[in-house]
């Protein structure tokens, strides 16, 4: 069912999506959907008796050389196995799929006439709007902004660490690019080219999809209880120093 919704074969070649831990023959009665496979998520699944955790970010990303239980990754694997909980990750395949992470983010940005290009989406807004005014109307806070002096009209976006797509969006005519994890030199290059950049943070651009994805899975997985886990960003703003636009 998960593969039907977001085919695992569509994940990027560098990605690791699919079964991370568990027995494929395990019977599943309840599932917990979360952004990250953190200790808080695993403990919540244990406390609530979940059989399966579905995360966006993979638990295992690179080949393991050992299982040192003093290390966080191995400790998480041990907790899952001891509790009999399986873990499946849907990463770049969930970014790309219809009604997945990218589409949810495009909806939150209020984009119209949305077109897909892998994990990137492009879309328009009703009429050109000054950058600060557009950002202020979004359901996000704490944005970092690169102002290239352009009104917002044609927007490119990619959830997570999507700044590698900015030049492609620029060549398509976008005046603004929205993503997370923007590197300094990439921001300078985009500004010098005349493109606004909005960095909403990795967490904010993907956590927004957990609720809708949970609801979609609940509809598809009849007879299985599906709940979403509301996570917290690992980064916090210094008190009194929050950015608002």
Q: What is the pLDDT of residues 72-97, one digit of tens each?
A: 999 999 999 999 999 999 999 999 99
**What does the pLDDT read at residue 237?**
75
**What does the pLDDT read at residue 108?**
97
pLDDT greater than 50 at residue 64: yes
For residue 62 the two structure tokens come to: 């690179």
Mean pLDDT computed over every residue of the chain:
95
pLDDT greater than 90 at residue 128: yes
Confidence of residue 141 (pLDDT cuts 50, 70, 90): confident
The percent of residues above 90 in pLDDT, for the chain, comes to 94
Round to whole Å and give the CA distance between 29 and 33. Answer: 14
pLDDT greater than 80 at residue 245: no
For residue 115 the two structure tokens come to: 């077109």
Contacts 24+ apart (CB under 8 A), 5-11: 5/97, 5/216, 5/217, 5/220, 6/90, 6/93, 6/94, 6/96, 6/97, 6/100, 7/93, 7/97, 8/90, 8/93, 9/93, 10/92, 10/93, 10/96, 10/97, 11/91, 11/92, 11/93
What predicted TM-score, i.e. pTM, was given to this entire model?
A: 0.94
pLDDT greater than 90 at residue 98: yes
**Is residue 5 a contact partner of residue 79, using CB atoms and an 8 Å limit?**
no
- Summarize the confidence of residues 180-192 as an average pLDDT: 98
Structural domains of the chain sorted by starting position, each given as residue range(s) with its CATH number in brackets: 2-94+209-228 (3.40.1390.30), 101-205 (3.40.1390.30)
Instruction: Give start and end residues of each alpha helix (H) in the chain.
Output: 2-5, 39-48, 72-83, 92-96, 101-108, 131-136, 166-171, 184-193, 202-207, 210-220
Q: What is the pLDDT of residues 187-229, one digit of tens each?
A: 999 999 999 999 999 999 999 999 999 999 999 998 999 999 9
CA dihedral 58, 59, 65, 69 (to 10 degrees): 170
- Summarize the confidence of residues 152-159 as an average pLDDT: 98
**What does the pLDDT read at residue 242?**
52
DSSP state of 165: G
């Amino acid at each position: 069912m998960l593969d039907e919704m977001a085919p695992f074969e569509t994940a990027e070649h560098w990605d690791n999506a699919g079964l991370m831990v568990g027995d494929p023959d395990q019977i599943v009665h309840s599932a917990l959907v979360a952004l990250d496979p953190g200790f808080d998520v695993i403990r919540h699944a244990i406390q609530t008796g979940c059989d399966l955790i579905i995360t966006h970010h993979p638990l295992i990303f690179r080949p393991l050389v050992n299982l040192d239980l003093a290390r966080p990754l191995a400790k998480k694997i041990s907790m899952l196995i001891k509790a009999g909980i399986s873990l499946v990750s849907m990463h770049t395949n969930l970014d790309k799929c219809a009604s997945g992470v990218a589409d949810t983010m495009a909806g939150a940005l209020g984009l119209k006439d949305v077109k897909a290009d892998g994990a990137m989406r492009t879309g328009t807004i009703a009429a050109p709007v000054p950058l600060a005014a557009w950002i202020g109307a979004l359901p996000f806070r704490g944005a970092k902004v690169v102002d290239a002096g352009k009104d917002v009209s044609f927007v490119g976006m990619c959830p997570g660490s999507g700044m590698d797509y900015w030049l492609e969006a620029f060549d398509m005519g976008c005046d603004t690019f929205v993503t997370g994890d923007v590197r300094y030199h990439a921001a300078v290059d985009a500004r010098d080219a005349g493109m606004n950049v909005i960095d909403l943070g990795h967490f904010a651009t993907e956590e927004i999809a957990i609720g809708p994805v949970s609801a979609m899975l609940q509809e598809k997985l009849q007879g299985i209880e599906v709940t979403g886990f509301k996570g917290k960003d690992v980064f916090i703003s210094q008190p009194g120093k929050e950015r608002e636009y």
